[in-house]
A and B are shown apart, each in its own frame.
Chain A
Amino acid sequence: MNNKSKKNSSLTPIVIIGLVLVIAVGGGYMLFKTSTAPKAKTSVANKTPDTSAQKYPSAPLGAQPPNMLGSPMAKVTLEEFADFQCGTCAAKYPMTKELIQAYGNRIQFVFRNYPLAIPAHDKAYDAAVAAEAAGMQGKFWDMKRELFLNQASWSTASDFRAILEEYATKIGLDVAKFKSDMSGTAAKSRVDNDLQRGRALGVNSTPTFFINGEMIPFEQIKDTQTMKALIDAELAKANSANQNTAPANNAN
C-alpha cells in the first residue's frame, strides 16, 4: 500500500513534466501555424509607428539603379527585401516569379538585397555581392535564380566560392570579371545601399515585401492569391484615380 502510494507520487512529477512539454511544444506549434494577420499588424504598428515607405521620404534610395523588372512607369511597385540564404526567401522565389510573369509591365518589381548578419546566414552577404557582380554583366536575375534554386547545395558548402564560379560559368559570365567584381567595392556598396534602405524602412526579417511603399504583413505573402489580390487592389486604386483625373483634364 505504502509502496503503491510512493510509486504514484514519483510518477506525478513525470506526468506533470510530460504535460508541460506537450503544452509547450504543441501550443507553440499551434500558435506558429495560426499566427494571424491582426497580430502581425499590431506588432508592426508597435515596432514603428508607420511602416509606409512612402511616408519615409528620407529613407535612402538603395542601390541605384535598382534591380528592376516590369515597367518603371507602372502604377504599382512591388519591392522585395530578401536574403539569398534565407529558406523562406527561396521558397518565395516561385511566387515572385509567377507575379512578375502574371503582371508584366503593369507592375514594377524591385529586388533589394537584405542579407541578415546572423551566423546561420554566413554566406548571405557574399551571395548578395555575387548577384550584384553578375548584375554588372547584366545577369543579376540569372544569378538570383541559381542562388535561390540551389540554396541547399551552396549554403552549407565549404567550397562556396567555387560553386559561385560554377554558376557564373553556367549563366555565361566572364568569370575573371565576375571574380574581380566580387572583390571590388561597387557590388558591395550596392548591397550596403539596399541594406541601409531596408533598415530605414523598418525591415527586420526576410523576405519583406512592400506594395507601393506599404509593408505587407508576413502571413499575407504566404500564397500567391493573397498577393495578387493586394496588387489588384492597388491597380484598381490607380485606375480609378486615372479615371477621375481624365475627365477633369478633358474639361480643361
Chain B
Amino acid sequence: MSESETVVNESGDTTSKLPILAAVVALVGLADGVYLTIHHYTAEPVPCGDAFDCGAVLNSLYSEIAGIPLAAFGAAAYFLAFSLALLTAFGNRVMWKLFSIQVVLMSLFTLYLLYLQAFVIKAWCQFCLISAGITFTLLIIAMISKLTRAK
C-alpha cells in the first residue's frame, strides 16, 4: 500500500512540473496563432524584420487549408496541447500520452512548414519561426518526461 503511494507521488512530481511548463509554453503558441489568425482576416501586414518576408509566407499558397488560415489550425492545436497538459497537471495521465502523440505530429508538420519556407516560398516569417520554436519546446518537454519516467 505504502509502495503504491510512493509510486503515485513520484509520478505526481514529474506530471505536475513538466505539464504545467508545457501548458504555459502552449499558451504562448496559442497567442501567436491567434495573432496571426487576426492578421490573416484583417489583411493587415504583420510587423516584419528586414531578414523576413512575412507577407510572402502568410499570403502564400500554403497559408490556408480549405479556406481556413493555417494560423487558426495552429491556434487550435496549441489550445488542445494546453488543455491536455493542464488536465495532466491535475492528475489525468492518459492526457499526457495524448499530449505526447499530438506534439510529435505537430513537430512533423512543423518540419514540413520549415521546409516550405526554406525551399518552396524561400522566405521566412518570424511568427512562424516562433511557432516552430514553441512546438519543438513542447516536443523536448514530452521527451524529457518520457526519459525521466523510463528511468
A-B contact count (CB 8 A): 94
Contact with A along B53-91 (1 / 0, CB 8 A): 011101111011111000000010001001100110111
Interface residue A250 (Cβ < 8 Å from any Cβ of B): no
Identify A21's interface contact among B45, B56, B79, B89, CB under 8 A.
B79
Which residues on B sit within 8 Å (CB–CB) of A46?
A: 47-49
Query: Which B residue's beta carbon lies closest to that of A30?
Result: B38
Q: Chain A contact residues: over half helix, strand or loop, or mixed?
A: helix
Q: How large is the interface on B (under 10, 10 to 19, 20 to 34, 35 or more residues)?
A: 35 or more
Q: Is the CB of A205 within 8 A of B44?
A: yes
Contact A43:B38 (CB < 8 A) given known A13-B89, A13-B90: no
Query: Which residues in chain A, 123-153, are within 8 Å of chain B measured between CB atoms?
Result: none
State the CA gap A9–B12 with chains docked (Å). 15
Whether A43 pairs with B46 at a CB distance below 8 angstroms is yes
Which B residues are closer than 8 A to A by beta carbons?
Answer: 27, 30-31, 34-35, 37-38, 41-49, 54-56, 58-61, 63-67, 75, 79, 82-83, 86-87, 89-92
List residues of A (1-57) whose CB comes within 8 Å of B's CBs. 9-10, 12-13, 16-17, 20-21, 24, 27-28, 31-32, 35, 39-40, 42-44, 46-47
> Which residue of B47, B58, B86, B92 contacts A17 across the interface (Cβ within 8 Å)?
B86
Given contacts A10-B90, A32-B42, A40-B44, 20 further A-B contacts (CB under 8 A): A9-B90, A13-B90, A17-B83, A20-B30, A20-B82, A20-B83, A21-B79, A24-B30, A28-B38, A31-B35, A35-B38, A35-B44, A40-B45, A44-B45, A47-B48, A118-B61, A205-B59, A218-B42, A218-B44, A219-B42
